[in-house]
Structure formats: C-alpha cells, structure tokens
Amino acid sequence: MKKIAASLLLERALSAANLRQKILANNIANVDTPGYKRFDIALQEALQQGLDTPLENYIYRQSATSLRVDGNNVDIDQEMTFIAENEAYFNSVASSLIQRMATVRYLINEGRR
C-alpha cells in the first residue's frame, strides 16, 4: 500500500509541476498587460494536503505588489528563474517515478521465473 501511495504522490507532484509551468508561462505572456498580477501555486501545500484536493485550489494571485506604474508585478527574469527551477523539479520527480516503475517491472518479471 505504501508503494502505491508513493507512486500516486509522485504522479501528483508531476501534475503540480506541469500546472505550475503553465501558470508561469501565463505570467510571462502577460508581462506587458497593464494591471496584471502574477499567479503561482503553493506547491508544498498541494503535496502535503493529500491526493483528494484539486491542485487548482492551491493557485494564488500575488496581488500585494507592483513593479511598474501600470500595476503589473511580473518580473520576466524572476519568472524565467522559476521556470528553470520548476523544470529541474519536474525532471527529478519524473526520474524518481521512472525508477519506481522500473523496480516494479523488475519485481514482476523476476516473480514469473
């Protein structure tokens, strides 16, 4: 049961990273939109709260800051840094899930002998 739960958590982490990538890309797409406030996802909270709560419930808008006179608070350099960090996180989780699946596949094949 623990192994199944761990795999489900890894899958949720991949989904959360994928959603975050979309959110960050949307922030970049709106870098020149007057009054636009950046969005993000509370990734740690989304993973700690279990598998039943939709990931979309952890999306939040960072509305307390403004970087420009027009009210927009998207910093393109910061967003690109977040994208690079998120990509590394996604790749790490994907590698863990691939390794877990390879182990399960090996155990199943060895059990047939």
Task: Name residues whose C-beta falls within 8 Å of residue 53's C-beta, 6 or more positions apart in sequence.
Answer: 46
Number of domains in the chain: 1
Of residues 28, 5, 18, 22, the one with CA closest to residue 90: 18
More confident residue, 99 or 3: 99
More confident residue, 64 or 92: 92
Return d(Cα 14, Cα 47) in angstroms, integer.
Answer: 10
Containing domain of residue 89, as a range? 1-19+75-113
Residue 99 falls inside a structural domain: yes
Task: Name residues whose C-beta falls within 8 Å of residue 46's C-beta, 6 or more positions apart in sequence.
Answer: 12, 16, 53, 55, 57, 58
Question: What is the rounded average pLDDT of the residues 44-60?
Answer: 91
Residue 66 falls inside a structural domain: no
Residue 1 falls inside a structural domain: yes
Of residues 6, 13, 9, 26, the one with CA closest to residue 83: 26
Q: pLDDT at position 92, please?
A: 96
Q: pLDDT at position 56, please?
A: 96
Residue 62 falls inside a structural domain: no
Residue 4 falls inside a structural domain: yes
Residue 46 falls inside a structural domain: no
| Residue 89 reports pLDDT greater than 90 | yes
**What's the whole-model pTM score?**
0.85
Task: Name residues whose C-beta falls within 8 Å of residue 79's C-beta, 6 or more positions apart in sequence.
Answer: 24, 27, 28, 31, 38
pLDDT mean across residues, the chain: 90
| 112: exposed, middle or buried (Cβ count in 10 Å: 0-12, 13-18, 19+) | exposed
Question: What is the rounded average pLDDT of the residues 55-83?
Answer: 93
Residue 30 falls inside a structural domain: no
CB of 73 closer than 8 Å to CB of 66? yes
Residue 14 falls inside a structural domain: yes
pLDDT digits (tens, 9 = 90+) for 6-37: 888 899 999 999 999 999 999 999 999 999 99
